[in-house]
Structure 1
Amino acid sequence: MVHGFETRAIHAGQEPDPRTGAVIPPIYATSTYAQDGVGGLREGYEYSRSANPTRVALEECLASLEGGSRGLAFASGMAAEDTLLRTVMGPGDHLVIPDDAYGGTYRLVSRVVERWGVSWTSAPVSDVDAVRAALRPETKVVWVETPTNPLLNIADVEMLADAAHEVGALLVVDNTFATPYLQQPLFLGADVVVHSTTKYCGGHSDVVGGALVVADDELGERLAFHQNAIGGVAGPFDAWLVLRGLKTLAVRMEKHCDNAERVVTALMEHPRVADVLYPGMRTHPGHHLARQQMHRFGGMVAFRVAGGEEAAVQVCDRAQVFTLGESLGGVESLIEHPGRMTHASAAGSPLEVPEDLVRLSVGIESIDDILIDLEQALQL
């Protein structure tokens, strides 16, 4: 029987404990496992870097929610990205990334991956023709975010998958902003989905984690080998926290989206706001595509402040309900200045973000409190 998303989030990979009947998977805080004779493994477990029952439960749940054949959980989103690129790329290969990619992804590619002899090109992922023009015979990966971080552009996953596959490349989609509840890129033709499970999957700003979900079994085996060989795995308590977060992902995302839509309406009417970036707006260039690919439009909002960089920084500093901080996707509302914070590593590069940009992770607090806080933060 195929169950709905909410049911799978609560039950996939999480059968009651056969010995005690515990309905929540235990935290298997162990490094090693007793063997029944040399090589006699109990259910395949020998060492927790290779496999841990709590992590396996999370990996099975993530695979189910994304519609993939295999999920793999890591110590952070960057550990997941690093393991993926080490697995599928080598010297002489080429990579395409968004021209407004997350600052950490840009830093990994430009300062680490490039040193392996891998070349890369940035392109606007909302423009399929521009991405096609960036492809080369040696391109092995087309990396997209949709929505992008922080400008909230939308990529056509299906068309980009076709373009990538024409040159023998993989299409990798960072689905952190959308979550598997709002969007499932593997069903649109993507080969790999990446998550910072620190964000909406965990949902409570109390854990750091990452994940990969793949459609192809053989690629899953290769990634699992490198996951074990490189060793950046999720610990059992971290895996348990993300698994707990997934249980309420659907209801949280509905509230995030409700609040974000109200915030967007208020910002569009505010005289100190020069521009609002949100794919749920009819005027957003990716709105029609987002309606096709996404269940709703998410809890991330960006806007540009009239008055430039210092005015944007002042708005961030004056917020009270919104906490000034990096990261996103928790139950609490966060505000940040990407140019000086999450995307500072891209300063002076073609991926530099606008200096007057403010990014909001709209939480699930009372919408009246959120709107009052934004109003006072935007006062002259």
Structure 2
Amino acid sequence: MSKLDWNSVDFETMIIHAGQEHDSAYGALATPIYQTSTFCFETVEEGAAKFANEIPGYHPVYTRGGNPTTRAFELKCAAMEGGEDAVATASGMGAVGSVMLAFLKCGDHVIFDNSVYGGTNHVATTNLPNLGIEVSRVDTADLEALKAAIRPNTKMVYFETPNNPMIKVTDVAAVKAAVGKDIRVVVDATFAPPPIQHVLKLGADIVLHSITKYINGHGDALGGVVVGSAADMKQLRANCMTKINGCPPSPFNSYLVLRGMKTLALRVERHCQNAMAVAKYLEQNPYVKTVYYPGLESSPSHELACRQMENGLFGGILSFELKDDVKGLSSFEAGKKLLNNMKIASIAVSLGDPDTLIEHPASMTHAGVAPEARLAAGITDGLVRMSVGLESAKDLINDLEQAFEKI
């Protein structure tokens, strides 16, 4: 199969074919699983040349440093994001940690958004300060606050868009313009992968994903990926991911993700359609105070989302805040009771599965975040986060309706 310029075809075509050539040995259509820890050489001279990176191939840092199945996955991700190269990791947190250790050192300063995934929050509040890296927390959507936080030693700005769990959209292009070319803008786009948005094209220097979520899309494989310039990915792979972190995905997981990505365009469209229907229902529900979903015209992020997110797609994740005194219960207790009475939606902390998943951040994903920090980020006791799946939207709304009746 001849190689195409992936910029010349539509996303739906690219995501099926990019990175995957027919197997050279037997012509297999699906990329084979190269389930090996090491690779052999015909001669000592060949081994020496590969050690020295003088000739291409998978060389003696084991599958930790490269694997044909994983490389196909990386190339597909690079094409998906419009980046020069990509590095796959064993988990989303492997991607976060590798980026931090590859591009920050003792004495540097990094700015994090004030609301991020709980594992990333631990990196910001504990791991990086323990390494002598200075950390500031601001609302990165507030450009004046962001600019005020910049120091002479600031090397990176890190945020999610939309973020977890408030579904806040941050203007990627405006952030990059505000911080300048010498500060890396790193965006976690897990909640809205292509074809919803392409943050590198908006000005981000690096984009990362927990591919456990939408990119794999089937709830059966952990993984992460980082995409950016060829120079940045070479530095990340050589100095961090294969060394201090040592966190490659297994070849089998890379195979599962390659399989999942072929249906990414179709799946994401359905997730977004269902999420919009559920968000509109919740907006009219008498027990709901606020719905956080950028597709709603009532959302403060709606205008920006219409510019930054593509094809009328606004993601498959929403959050909603229950009113106080729901049938005599506190919002904290009402939230838990609502979840416990769902029949279709599963109580789980992940997202991007075909199954609808629902969780209560105050008692689950963000229970370890200090209460004052949690509230400062808008994560109240009555907040519920919902990853809307691929089921019938009507059935999901009926499931919510019967659960509200049982509070």
Asked whether the equivalents of residues 74 and 211 of structure 1 are also in contact (C-alpha less than 8 Å), the reply is yes
The equivalent residue for 1:345 is 368
Cα deviation digits, residues 327-365 of structure 1 (max 9, x gap):
111110000001111122213352442111000000000
Return the offset for 1:19.
Answer: 1.6
Cα deviation digits, residues 60-104 of structure 1 (max 9, x gap):
000000000011110000011101100110111111111111111
Aligned residues: 378
Return the offset for 1:217.
Answer: 2.0
Separation (CA, whole Å) in 2 of partners of 1:69 and 1:366: 38
Task: Give the alignment partner of residue 317 of structure 2, picking from 273, 282, 300.
Answer: 300
Whichever residue aligns with residue 221 of structure 1, its letter is K
Cα deviation digits, residues 193-244 of structure 1 (max 9, x gap):
0100000001011111111000x22112101112211311111011111111
Separation (CA, whole Å) in 2 of partners of 1:351 and 1:314: 21
- Bigger drift between 360-369 and 223-232 goes to 223-232
Q: Do the aligned partners of residues 274 and 53 (structure 1) sit closer, same or farther apart at CA in structure 2, a change above 3 Å counting? A: same
Task: Give the alignment partner of residue 211 of structure 1, picking from 208, 221, 225.
Answer: 225
Asked whether the equivalents of residues 104 and 345 of structure 1 are also in contact (C-alpha less than 8 Å), the reply is no
Whichever residue aligns with residue 335 of structure 1, its letter is I
The equivalent residue for 1:245 is 260
Listed as ranges, the gaps of 5+ residues in structure 2 are 51-55, 325-330
Listed as ranges, the gaps of 5+ residues in structure 1 are none
Return the offset for 1:33.
Answer: 1.1
Whichever residue aligns with residue 185 of structure 1, its letter is V
The equivalent residue for 1:139 is 154
Whichever residue aligns with residue 18 of structure 1, its letter is S
Separation (CA, whole Å) in 2 of partners of 1:12 and 1:21: 16
- Bigger drift between 263-272 and 30-39 goes to 30-39
Secondary structure, aligned partner of 1:148? coil
Separation (CA, whole Å) in 2 of partners of 1:19 and 1:157: 44
Matching of residue 356 in structure 1 with residue 382 in structure 2:
yes
Separation (CA, whole Å) in 2 of partners of 1:184 and 1:317: 36
Separation (CA, whole Å) in 1 of partners of 2:83 and 2:196: 16
Separation (CA, whole Å) in 1 of partners of 2:92 and 2:160: 13
Return the offset for 1:8.
Answer: 1.4
Secondary structure, aligned partner of 2:65? coil
Return the offset for 1:164.
Answer: 2.3
Asked whether the equivalents of residues 216 and 258 of structure 2 are also in contact (C-alpha less than 8 Å), the reply is yes
- TM-score normalised by L of structure 2: 0.91
Aligned ranges 1:183-222 → 2 under 5 Å: 183-214=197-228, 216-222=229-235
Whichever residue aligns with residue 15 of structure 2, its letter is A
Secondary structure, aligned partner of 2:185? strand
* Shift >6 Å, 4+ stretches: none
Separation (CA, whole Å) in 2 of partners of 1:333 and 1:118: 38
Separation (CA, whole Å) in 1 of partners of 2:257 and 2:170: 27
Q: Do the aligned partners of residues 169 and 349 (structure 1) sit closer, same or farther apart at CA in structure 2, a change above 3 Å counting? A: farther
Asked whether the equivalents of residues 193 and 215 of structure 2 are also in contact (C-alpha less than 8 Å), the reply is yes
Secondary structure, aligned partner of 1:31? coil
Secondary structure, aligned partner of 2:180? helix
Asked whether the equivalents of residues 128 and 156 of structure 1 are also in contact (C-alpha less than 8 Å), the reply is no
Asked whether the equivalents of residues 374 and 380 of structure 2 are also in contact (C-alpha less than 8 Å), the reply is no
Secondary structure, aligned partner of 1:79? helix
Separation (CA, whole Å) in 2 of partners of 1:245 and 1:210: 14
RMSD: 1.2
Whichever residue aligns with residue 16 of structure 1, its letter is H
Task: Give the alignment partner of residue 352 of structure 2, picking from 329, 333, 351.
Answer: 329
Secondary structure, aligned partner of 1:181? coil
Secondary structure, aligned partner of 2:386? strand
The equivalent residue for 1:45 is 58
Secondary structure, aligned partner of 1:201? coil
Whichever residue aligns with residue 222 of structure 1, its letter is Q
Task: Give the alignment partner of residue 172 of structure 2, picking from 141, 157, 162.
Answer: 157
Matching of residue 103 in structure 1 with residue 118 in structure 2:
yes
Matching of residue 318 in structure 1 with residue 341 in structure 2:
yes
Asked whether the equivalents of residues 101 and 351 of structure 1 are also in contact (C-alpha less than 8 Å), the reply is no
Task: Give the alignment partner of residue 196 of structure 2, picking from 182, 207, 214.
Answer: 182
Aligned ranges 1:18-57 → 2 under 5 Å: 18-41=24-47, 43-46=56-59, 47-57=62-72
Separation (CA, whole Å) in 2 of partners of 1:141 and 1:244: 34
Matching of residue 77 in structure 1 with residue 92 in structure 2:
yes
- Bigger drift between 172-181 and 345-354 goes to 345-354
Separation (CA, whole Å) in 2 of partners of 1:280 and 1:223: 35
Separation (CA, whole Å) in 2 of partners of 1:310 and 1:139: 42
Separation (CA, whole Å) in 2 of partners of 1:56 and 1:208: 16
Separation (CA, whole Å) in 1 of partners of 2:45 and 2:323: 67
Q: Do the aligned partners of residues 374 and 115 (structure 1) sit closer, same or farther apart at CA in structure 2, a change above 3 Å counting? A: same
Separation (CA, whole Å) in 2 of partners of 1:223 and 1:175: 19
Higher Cα radius of gyration: 2
Secondary structure, aligned partner of 1:141? strand
